Amino acid sequence: MAVRLPLFDERGNAPSPSGGHGPVAAELETVLLDEYEKKEKCGLFGVWGTKDASQICYQGLFAQQHRGQESAGIVVSDGTTLNGHAGMGLVSQVFNPRMLREELAGHAGIGHVRYSTTGSSKLCNAQPLLRQYLMGPVAVAHNGNLINAQLLRQQYEEHGHIFQSTTDTEIIVHLLAKPTHVEKHDPLPHVLKHLQGAFSLLFLFPNRMEACRDPWGIRPLVLGKTAQGHWCVASETCAFDSLDAEFVREIEPGEIVRIDDHGLHSRRFDKPAPERAHCVFEHVYFANPASKVFGQNVHLVREAMGRELARQSPVPADFIMPMPDSGRSAALGYAKESAIPFEEGIVPNRFVGRTFILPGQAARDRAVAMKLNIIPDVVKDQRIVIVEDSVVRGTTTRSKMRAIRRAGAKEIHLRVSCPPIRHPCFYGIDFPTSEELIAHNRTVDQIRDFLEVDTLAYLGIDRMLACMKLPPEEYCTACWSGKYKVPIDQPQSKFSFERDQLRMF
């Protein structure tokens, strides 16, 4: 079982390896670079009715690689059986052309890229989960987080069920296999009614694909159609762009869309929640700028947030500089609104590995230098407004600011295009405890001092919501406001299901 020490004490100091706190220990804190600071759940893709289903799934997953880099998987149907492959790493590392063409031949398929928010990063948790039960084979791919997973799993384990993974998604298969559910004419709606929390789901059976979305619409799920007339489903519309497919509509909250050889059929397992809970963080950070999420283009929303930030928190400066890559759209909006020039002063190295965990100042500095190349001739002796999409744990941001300061910046004014993240998320984002959040129980001035910048300003929550198309009550703001629309009765950690594992050699 993994044990996580709080990242900071009440004075902003990090724990020492022995558990103590203090200024010296703060220099030894674990630093997690960009990709660990803000981690999303997963990306889904599915297609029906094409002979090269696995290759289309590959393209759809590749376009959504930003949603998860721990593992990737594809399961296909040939009309009778299901066959799949999953592995740790990026889509391009897990699959090759021969595998897609020969080993994963089929006319339908679903795929998944994963970052874990329940269950650790290991192969047994890679999705889609492929299982056999009384009614035959089934594959499940999940984006989101089930808040009642711990309770359901405990109930099933008490009745002798054996779980093969530590992810909350496997509970859905056990619900499907329950005898009282199997005997129903249409078991899936009944199964989904048992789930609480965030879930966008793809199911693949030999004869059909089912796409489902929770009644709150927390995570996105969209329906598209290829130029050849084949139905496809994805987490983001950018997956359709990569295939020259047409975006048709969103899967509605509480809806099940069945796709088979007879076409597309819609039914409901629940009515939509009175107030939706669309995750604004999808727009702030997660989604591809080219995607349309919850009815709005992500780039344009981020640009609008940057404009609002410039109106709210102006500051004299020589130029506006984005923090690559998700801060770029907001920085552009800030520059347009403030009439201050936009300048690129940081070049990201896109070939650096996904995550570094490094102790000590020298190691942190080397890591930032590997990930981000500061251009000294651009930043030297300049007053700079740096626009960042969000600050979660803060250690990464501080390392970035220090690197810019060493490159010669005269003044650093940090502007963040969302409010301070003060509360944990239980719906599919990996900041599950308040103690890990730099803004929890700290003032903006305290955060500014920790980040070592001249000024710091966050976008206000009302101004952020003003950039959204739907009424404010249609969005989830729990990580900023602490208001959870889906009640959290029994908070669970990412490692709630982790136990000593049996190992075979």
H or E element at residue 289: none
Contact, 355 vs 361, CB < 8 A?
Answer: no
DSSP string, 400-431: HHHHHHHTT-SEEEEEESS----S---SS-S-
- Give the burial class of 316: count Cβ atoms within 10 A of its Cβ; 0-12 exposed, 13-18 middle, 19 or more buried: exposed
User: Would you write out the chain's pLDDT as a tens digit for each of its 505 residues?
Assistant: 232 323 334 333 433 333 333 333 333 233 333 334 444 469 999 999 999 999 999 999 999 999 999 999 999 999 999 999 999 999 999 999 999 999 999 999 999 998 754 445 578 899 999 999 999 999 999 999 999 988 999 888 888 888 888 888 999 999 999 999 999 999 999 999 999 999 999 999 999 999 999 999 999 999 999 999 999 999 999 999 999 999 999 999 999 999 999 999 999 999 999 999 999 999 999 999 999 999 999 999 999 999 999 999 999 999 999 998 889 999 999 999 999 999 999 988 876 654 333 445 565 556 666 778 899 999 999 999 999 999 998 988 999 999 999 999 999 999 999 999 999 999 988 766 888 899 999 999 999 999 999 999 999 999 999 999 999 999 999 999 999 998 886 555 444 444 444 443 3
- Tokens standing for 35? 């990709």
Is 238 one of the annotated active-site residues of the chain?
no
Task: Report all structural domains of the chain as residue ranges with CATH numbers, in order of start.
Answer: 23-37+298-481 (3.40.50.2020), 42-282 (3.60.20.10)
The strand order across the sheet containing 246-250 reads 82-88, 71-77, 108-114, 42-48, 231-234, 222-225, 246-250
- Tokens standing for 157? 């384990």
DSSP string, 65-110: GGG--SEEEEEEE-SS-EEEEEEES-HHHH--HHIIIIIT-BSEEE
What is the pTM for the complete model shown? 0.86
Q: Which of 42, 279, 418, 467 is catalytic?
A: 42
289: Cα within 13 Å, side-chain hemisphere:
14
Peptide bond into 253 cis (omega under 30): no
Rounded to the nearest 5 degrees, what angle is found at the Cα of 171, between the Cα atoms of 165 and 174?
A: 105
- Tokens standing for 179? 């005898």
CA dihedral (61, 65, 68, 72) in degrees, to 10, reads 40
H or E element at residue 64: none
Neighbours of 238 (CB within 10 A): 23
